[in-house]
Amino acid sequence: MRKIFDIVHSDGSVSAKERATVNVLNTSSTSPPPEIVTFPAADKKTKLYGAVFRPLGDDVGEGPFPTVVYMYGGPHVQLVRNYWRITSVPRIQNLRKQGFLVFICDNRGGSRRGVEFEGAIHLNMGSAEVEDQVAGVEYLVEQKLADPSRVGCYGWSYGGYMTCLCLAKAPKTFKAGLSGAPVTHWDGYDTHYTERYMSTPQANSVGYDTSSVMAHVKGMTGRLMLVHGLIDENVHFRHTARLINALIEAQKEYELVLLPNERHSPRSAETRAYIEKRLMEFFKRNLLSGL
């Protein structure tokens, strides 16, 4: 996100266009922090941590609420931590202002929980992770926080992969998802990353096939928006193109937002503001107005 001081000109002025961008991306620093919760993973043995951001407003009630799950899900990342940064994400705060409960769950496969926790995805990415995200939503439903008929998800990169798989493998749980720059088949991603967890395609052909998003497309019933930069140097656009081919073959509807001048992480303030606008409209249309 471009900070305010990044777009102030040398004479101290800020253009109307730039000021509008800041207004979209920034949020109040007084927003209350999330509640850190614990619940069982899908294996019923592992403890998972989640962060619950309730909707903002004086008349939101006690729930259940339309819910958006922010996910990453892959190795080397821990999202749920008891620190200020988790509260400072503008997108989360803007979703709260629109009446959404926002939830983050660190599924098995993430970092800082030991080798066994991270090793749950060994040779089989996209399985334990999805199961644990479903377990997180089920926990919210049991607590009467999430409306089970209005749950969506979003993520970028591995989180985009997770979003697609959640819609495809858990369609009864997730009704809409925005997937940014998703890996859709691990045979097309960096070998120095992938083979640490999946071995080679020759040695683990079944794992590669079953972890592919395309293998599960026929199960999709919810709404999907794909967002991808055309000069993405990390997750090449070919991943989204392969998925679109599978969606067409399966006669599944989708929305597509192309970013011709953007790489893996969108850099321009205008692009970021546009993504926020499209994301908010997408979830309001599909989770607030109904499917």
Q: Are 91 and 27 in contact (CB under 8 A)?
A: no
Q: Are 95 and 131 in contact (CB under 8 A)?
A: no
Question: In angstroms, rounded to a whole number, what is the distance separating the alpha carbons of residues 19 and 10?
Answer: 15
Helix (H) or strand (E) holding 205: helix 205-210
Residue 212 falls in the annotated catalytic set: no
Buried b / exposed e across 261-277, counting CB within 10 Å, b at 16+?
ebebebeebebbbbbbe
Residue 111: CB atoms within 10 A of its CB come to 13
Residue 264 falls in the annotated catalytic set: yes
State the catalytic residue, choosing from 88, 187, 209, 264. 264
State the catalytic residue, choosing from 31, 157, 211, 212. 157
Residue 149 falls in the annotated catalytic set: no
Helix (H) or strand (E) holding 14: none
Token pair belonging to 85: 């940064």
State the catalytic residue, choosing from 127, 228, 232, 236. 232
Annotated catalytic residues are 157, 232, 264
